[in-house]
């Protein structure tokens, strides 16, 4: 992960913090950044020592969306190249959304266009109260195509239509009321809230976290009660016979901390 050019990664105490690292461009997203993010999430997926992922932006903004200079150049290269780039977006967003590890995104400064997709694909979003949001695509002759499936898991369709068709800027309070962000916090209290959430996540069983994320994904695609029953009954049965569950139940009865709890030195 040391070879990345447009992101950087800090790993400490069970937390991998991924930074979008083009602050001079307000972390505008290039295809290289998408490739690096996808690779990074896939790499972290295999790291047992990482329990939580935090996604942030260096500098003043989380992300100003796609790099328009790059986009204009690619737009002239034909349909096939642009199709390939579209798949880069879908692959990146999928790697975030389908990670088995809880992901927390931090929204600050400008959060425009595709930057909102990174938020929506994350499990939790903490927003600085001064952040500004914008679905800018329609002003560019585009649509928020690849991010839309993820945004619609957070914002209802009618509100999404309003925000995307008008390309109006909206503030962090509005983003919170729409459901795009989960926590709204003053700048000076943001890291304290983040650390509090991370502390709680370190106490959670890794397999339990992984299974919750899987169930939420798969339940969206169940079409009848039999599918729901089969999915959930098999889930709880599998978990109950696992070594991790037996350790967790034993620890609760014995009034001790389970073996997976990460204690961080003060």
Contact 93, 33 (CB under 8 A): no
CA neighbours closer than 13 Å in the CB half-sphere of residue 56: 18
Task: Indicate if the pLDDT at residue 124 is higher than 70.
Answer: yes
Q: How far apart are CA 235 and CA 218, in angstroms?
A: 12
Residues 53-103 pLDDT 10s: 999 999 999 999 887 777 777 777 889 988 999 999 999 999 999 999 999
Cβ atoms of 239 and 208 closer than 8 Å: yes
Average pLDDT over residues 174-189: 97
Say how far apart CA 94 and CA 187 lie, in whole Å: 29
Environment class of residue 149 by beta-carbon count within 10 Å: exposed (0-12), middle (13-18) or buried (19+)? middle
| Cα–Cα distance list, 109 to 58, 162, 178, 222, 231 (Å) | 10, 22, 18, 38, 41
Asked if pLDDT for residue 169 goes beyond 70, the answer is: yes
Per domain, the residue ranges of the chain are: 7-200, 205-253
Q: Which CATH class, in words, describes the domain spanning 7-200?
A: alpha beta
The model carries a pTM of 0.94
Q: What's residue 68's pLDDT? A: 76
Dig out the tokens for 101 from the structure.
Answer: 């590890």
Residue 213 reports pLDDT greater than 60:
yes
Give, to the nearest 10 degrees, the angle between helix 243-253 and helix 225-240: 70
Please give the C-alpha separations between residue 123 and each of 88, 99, 155, in angstroms, as whole numbers: 21, 10, 14
Segment 25-60, tens digit of pLDDT: 999 999 999 999 999 999 999 999 999 999 999 999
Q: How high does pLDDT run on average in the chain?
A: 94
């Amino acid at each position: 992960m040391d070879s990345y050019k447009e992101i950087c990664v800090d790993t400490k105490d069970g937390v991998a913090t991924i930074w979008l690292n083009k602050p001079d461009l307000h972390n505008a997203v290039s295809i290289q950044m998408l490739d690096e993010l996808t690779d990074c999430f896939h790499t972290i997926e295999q790291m047992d020592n990482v329990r939580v992922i935090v996604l942030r932006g260096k500098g003043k903004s989380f992300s100003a969306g796609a790099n328009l200079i790059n986009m204009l150049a690619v737009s002239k290269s034909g349909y096939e190249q642009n199709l390939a780039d579209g798949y880069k977006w879908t692959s990146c967003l999928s790697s975030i959304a389908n990670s088995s590890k809880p992901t927390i995104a931090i929204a600050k400064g400008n959060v425009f266009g595709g930057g909102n997709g990174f938020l929506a694909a994350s499990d939790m979003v903490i927003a600085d109260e001064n952040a500004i949001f914008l679905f800018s695509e329609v002003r560019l002759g585009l649509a928020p195509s690849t991010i839309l499936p993820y945004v619609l898991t957070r914002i209802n369709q009618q509100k999404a239509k309003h925000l995307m068709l008008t390309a109006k800027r909206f503030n962090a309070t509005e983003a919170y009321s729409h459901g795009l962000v989960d926590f709204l916090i003053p700048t000076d209290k943001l890291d304290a809230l983040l650390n509090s959430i991370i502390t709680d996540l370190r106490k959670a069983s890794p397999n339990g976290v992984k299974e919750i994320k899987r169930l939420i994904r798969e339940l969206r695609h169940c079409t009848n009660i039999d599918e729901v029953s089969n999915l959930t009954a098999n889930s709880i049965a599998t978990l109950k016979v696992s070594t991790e569950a037996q350790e967790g139940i034993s620890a609760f009865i014995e009034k001790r901390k389970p073996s997976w709890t990460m204690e961080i030195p003060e």
